[in-house]
Chains A and B, each alone.
Chain A
Amino acid sequence: MSSANEGFVLQTAPHAHGPMSVPRIMHAVNLSLIPVVVMSALFFGARVLMLYAVGIAACLGTEVIIKSIRGQSWRSILDGSALVTALLFVMVLPPSISPLLVAIGGVVSIAIGKEVFGGIGQNVFNPALVGRAFLSAAYPVAMTSWTPAREVFSFVPTGRTLATVDSVTGATPLAASRFEGIAEYYLRLFVGQTAGSIGSTSALVIMIGGIALIAMKIVRWQMVVSFLGTIAALTGIFWLIDPTTYADPLYHLLSGGVMFAAFYMISDMVTTPFTTKGTVIFGVGAGLLTVIIRLFGGFPEGVMFAILLMNAVTPIINRMNNRVYGASA
């Protein structure tokens, strides 16, 4: 048989490969964000769709340009990771932000957040949060102007408003409960019909996508639980000590960017630890820093800085070695 001398592919084992690939992971994240996109358009108007488009164009365009300059293939944008960055970046901006700032921040996210380190897999900080941190520092006013959500769902008897409890530093739910039922208020927070960042107000839709990602083993539940658990436990302690000064844990979990961060920011694989143990350390650390900044810091919201700080220590966490199977105690 002539084929006896034909060259077959020579590779070391394994010769079989599982279903997972980087594009598949990234596109799963993108698909899971569709409910968030829809909900944000309902709450903050079709204008946010334009903001998503600007963010996507800025992020993908920046990656194409940088790859071209470095003589690499622009096709890296097809792996879906720049799209993830774009969506996450826009979702953590205030709804009233101008398209120009979205574009600037998108460029920063990809250029400084990702490509400067060498592209996918190499970056230390969450690119979307790098973009947001840049805008927060450069355009503080635009980044803290909040617009109330539209009344898409009617929870409250007519005439009542929630203007007083729109931001984290505003009145606590206890104050709000003087005007309306507290259960209604939390329902409002849970659904996300409240002022906040474009995509981070609705715990409901965030959890739909997030739980799907957990089921697909793209997001580690240990990370989510350790982060949310730490926030709940710490704020719970303060609340029990002095409920008139400190908001209760449920409020802390549902307000601001906590739920969005739990499922979509601290779950970024590249910038967080790769072991389950490391993941829990990251979750607890990010939760702790979030609470410290929220309760004692100068910023109303602490999630972004908490995560960026934990991103910085992730390489150190990753230096820890697993205890291998059969290792002596």
Chain B
Amino acid sequence: MATTRIRGGVHPRYYKGLSADLPIERAGLPKRLEIPLSQHLGLPANPVVSKGDLVQPGDLIAEAPKLISANVHSPVAGKVRGIVQKPLPGGRMCDYVEIQVDEEATEAHEWQPQEVEIDTITPEALAKLFRDAGIVGMGGATFPTDVKFSPPPNVTLDVFILNAAECEPYLTCDNRIMIEHTKEVLRGIELAHAALRFDRVIIGVEKNKPEAIKALRKAIDEFVSPVAPPFELHELDVLYPQGAEKVLIQTTTGRTVPAGKLPFDVGAIAANVQTMFALYEAAYLGKPLVDRVVTVSGAGIPQPRNVRAAIGTPVTALAEMCGGIQETTTKVVAGGPMTGTALPSLDYSVTKGFSGLLFFTNAEYPDESPCIHCGSCVDVCPMRLMPLKLAAYAKAEKFEEAKATNLMDCFECGSCAWACPSNIKIVSWIKYAKNSVRVKGI
């Protein structure tokens, strides 16, 4: 399938070979889960359990107050130990529900297959499925999916895109889901298609995942459906950030999302592989979003793995499962290396947007040197921004000028900082400027 290329982008080293061929393994149940109530964009969920309550797998433990938010469920059977405040990755404080895991009862629990009336599902029913199951964008953005799949009444969505680019280095969790749960992912997409009836159903996969592409092609050929989603498999060039929503829409449909607008505005909706897999599980197993696949990798861990872990699983448990953290580890990152969040310690737990847990051993982090105006950042920016100007404005605290130079169009893919020969932390400066614009109301 022909694809159009965007301008810009970079070619980082991928390191996907460390884990791409390793089947998904289930993480052992830890003794205790710590489940944050704000794992998504929007308002935190309100706890509906308190200390001493007994919970079963799939029980609601925190409820979305209103739009925009997401429900949180217990992945296990156990007893609520209490609600504590702890930082999220990134530093914001959040309530965590602590659950003492009842291993036996959890192991004994089985999800019950559900009857799904495919051809009669309405958009409202689809949104309710998403909402009830607490599903959010699992590629990392964690935007509540019920909102995403409820377009305003004047908008028609004619294209669905499965975001299967997985363009971040190291990450292979979506790759494994596509290989091992191909049909289930397609069933999830089928459900969305049944409710919203797209003209095109595109699956966009980067070419560096041949096994996933093969599995998808086979599953599409064999797929039998009363609503017959018009699947198109697009093999995308390996280019970071191919999986950024605007970039993906451009490469697969040729449509340009206008600056400051949303994919809605060009009739497109994109969703991540694990998001659609979660939809499948919610609809066909009655299972809310209580676990996800995390790629544990990097030179600081002896055995990289793709681990299916309950939401709330402590990071230390994942590290131990992969052979324990090496002493040479200097940096721990939640997510991918281009956009992930560095963790100051291992005192964190798996959340819905937790695609990777990476252990880096780089001895040195080069210091910034003065900008030499090479323009590399301008060349690689997929939004055609001028990152060096934005960074300079931020340093000079000229936030109005930064905003006038299209600051808010940056989606922080990190290509500019990756390419910068002066090692300028351009994204940090841009985040600082954006935050200042918001705080000062510029």
Contact = CB atoms under 8 A, between A and B. Distances in A.
Contacts of B376: 20
Interface of A: 1, 3-18, 20-22, 24-25, 79, 118-122, 220, 269-270, 272-276, 279, 318, 321-328
A324 B345 contact: no
Given A7-B344, A14-B418, A21-B421, A325 B337 contact: no
Main secondary structure on B side of the interface with A: loop
Given A8-B329, A21-B423, A122-B370, A321 B341 contact: no
A5 B347 contact: yes
28 contacts: A1-B316, A1-B320, A5-B347, A7-B344, A8-B345, A11-B342, A12-B427, A12-B428, A13-B333, A13-B338, A14-B337, A16-B13, A16-B337, A17-B417, A17-B418, A18-B12, A22-B369, A22-B422, A269-B374, A275-B375, A276-B379, A279-B375, A318-B373, A323-B384, A324-B384, A325-B382, A325-B409, A328-B258
A2 to B, nearest CB: 10
Contact of B372 (A3, A12, A220, A269): A269
Interface in B314-341: 316, 319-320, 324-325, 329-333, 335, 337-341
B286 interface: no
Nearest to A323: B384
A325 B419 CA distance: 19
A326 B381 CA distance: 13
B370 A274 contact: no
Given A1-B346, A121-B371, A326 B257 contact: yes
Interface of B: 7, 10, 12-13, 169, 246, 256-261, 316, 319-320, 324-325, 329-333, 335, 337-347, 358, 360, 365-366, 369-376, 378-379, 382-386, 388-389, 405-406, 409, 412, 414, 417-423, 425, 427-428, 431
Contacts of A24: 421
A275 B95 CA distance: 47
A1 B339 CA distance: 27
Given A12-B428, A321-B386, A325-B246, A274 B423 contact: no
Tell me whether chain A's interface is mostly helix, strand or loop, or mixed: loop
Given A1-B320, A275-B375, A326-B257, A9 B331 contact: yes
B376 to A, nearest CB: 7
B378 A8 contact: no
B313 to A, nearest CB: 14
B373 A274 contact: yes
A299 to B, nearest CB: 28
Q: Which 8 residue pairs spanning A and B have beta carbons closest together?
A: A274-B375, A14-B414, A121-B370, A326-B259, A20-B421, A16-B337, A269-B374, A9-B331
A328 B406 CA distance: 13
Contacts of A326: 246, 256-261, 383, 409
Contacts of B329: 8
A24 B340 CA distance: 27
Contacts of A10: 342, 344
A273 B374 CA distance: 8
Interface centre among B329, B344, B369, B374 (most CB of A within 10 A): B374
Contacts of A322: 378, 384-386
Contacts of B386: 274-275, 321-322
Nearest to A322: B384
A327 B259 contact: yes
Contacts of B371: 121
